[in-house]
Amino acid sequence: MSRSRRPLHLPAPPAAEPPRPLRRRRRGGRWRGRLRQAGAGVAMAALGAGLLVGLVQLPSRLDALLLVSTALANLIAGLGKLSLALLQLAGVLAVVILALLALLLILGGCVRLVRSLLPRPARRPPAP
């Protein structure tokens, strides 16, 4: 029973890629990054200043106290409705749990009653 052994053929590793030429960094790139950062800073500062000017003019156009009191009244009413809804939901869940417990007790009682009425199998005497 001699087996002829074949040489193991392994796949050849891929050819190494030639190294890429190094790119030279432009010298002006640092200034462009700084200019972009400075422009973003100026834009953010201008936007913040505009928002502050708008907020300063807001009380002259609106009655701020009425706005705040209405918002608080709506918030309190909403929280009251939410708490009432949660309380009602808890009540419904308690009733459902009690109904399931009652059904489980009835089912368990019926099973025990039927098992008590059925004849018991004869027991084997214990082995010596």
Stated pTM of the model: 0.42
CA–CA separation, 3 and 1 (whole Å): 6
Q: What confidence tens digit (pLDDT) does each residue in 62-91 have?
A: 777 788 889 999 999 999 999 999 999 999
E strand or H helix at 101? helix 64-117
Closest by CA to 98, choosing from 110, 90, 109, is 90
The one-character DSSP state at 6 is P
pLDDT at 67: 80
pLDDT at 95: 94
